[in-house]
Amino acid sequence: MAWSRGRRLVDESGRPLRADEIAVGSMTPAFAEGVDKKRLDAALIVVRLHEHDLELPRDRSGWAPSGILAFSKICTHAGCAVSMFRYPLYAPHTSKPALVCPCHYSTFDPAAGGKVIFGPAGRPLPQLPVAVDERGELRAAGPMSGAVGPSWWGVDE
């Protein structure tokens, strides 16, 4: 497992990510510190929403400090990188913020903890609980909420 409590989120070059550089409506790729980037479970997509827009399940309270959400970057449908973030900037907001995979357009709702809202994916995008440490850097607050990567026979959410 690439993620356990306390592991730092770093950027492409290995520099720790700080909570205050994640702006609302932005999308930032991140990796597990000290883990091979080619591992499927190493890559994250970090987004920030307004806290009042969050609709996280009750058991995930505290997973998104100041609205910062981290998800596995690997689509649960066919294993491509979920590299698109839809964030409508002006009214009317016809569609909610969403994470989208460019291969088959599986669309996940970050506000609701990665729930599938469109497309072929059968499982939500696994969410990583994050915490901000005393230096303002992002760390994992626990393991991922589910199995990373595409589904197989033995996968259980």
61 binds other proteins, rule: CB under 8 A: no
Rounded to whole angstroms, the Cα distance separating 30 from 70 reads: 9
The smaller minimum CB distance to other proteins, of residues 2 and 141, is found at 2
- CB of 16 vs other proteins, minimal distance in Å: 18
35 binds other proteins, rule: CB under 8 A: no
User: Using CB under 8 A as the criterion, what x/- string covers residues 114-153 for binding other proteins?
Assistant: --x-xxxxxx-------------------------xxxxx
What is the three-state SS of 82-136?
CCEEECCCCCCCCCCCEEECCCCCCEEEHHHCCEEEECCCCCCCCEECEEECCCC
- CB of 19 vs other proteins, minimal distance in Å: 21
Let me know: does 84 contact 78? Beta carbons within 8 Å: no
Which of 24, 35, 40, 131 is in the footprint of other proteins by CB under 8 A?
A: 40
List residues near other proteins by CB under 8 A: 29, 31, 37-40, 42-43, 73-74, 77-84, 101-106, 116, 118-123, 149-156
